[in-house]
């Protein structure tokens, strides 16, 4: 299993305006609808959502490799979480 993937699942109401998913390095703007999912290599692709109106939830699943790097906190040269 690849340890650097991200899965995003869109959950939104029918009145959602905007909120497209941008995959920066690919230069893509993806308009996801309720129930849509996208998988991409998180270690190589930055992502963000555009502003939106309405109600939405994005379920984001990260692999252990990327989640571990977010948990690393260093204080005075000592790693608290690895």
- HEC string of the chain equals CCCCEEEEEEEECCCCEECCEEEHHHCEEECCCCCCEEEEECCCCCEEECCEECCEEEEEEECHHHHHHHHCEEECCEEEEC
Domain that holds residue 30: 5-81
Q: Which residue has the higher pLDDT, 48 or 57?
A: 48
- Mean pLDDT rounded to a whole number for the chain: 78
The number of folded domains in the chain is 1
Is the full-model pTM beyond 0.85?
no
């Amino acid at each position: 299993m690849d340890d650097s993937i991200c899965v995003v699942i869109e959950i939104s109401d029918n009145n959602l305006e905007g909120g497209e998913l941008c995959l920066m390095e690919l230069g893509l703007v993806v308009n996801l609808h309720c129930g849509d999912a996208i998988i991409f290599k998180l270690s190589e692709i930055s992502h963000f959502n555009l502003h939106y109106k309405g109600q939405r939830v994005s379920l984001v699943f990260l692999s252990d490799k990327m989640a571990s790097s977010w948990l690393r906190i260093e204080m005075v040269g000592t790693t608290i979480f690895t």
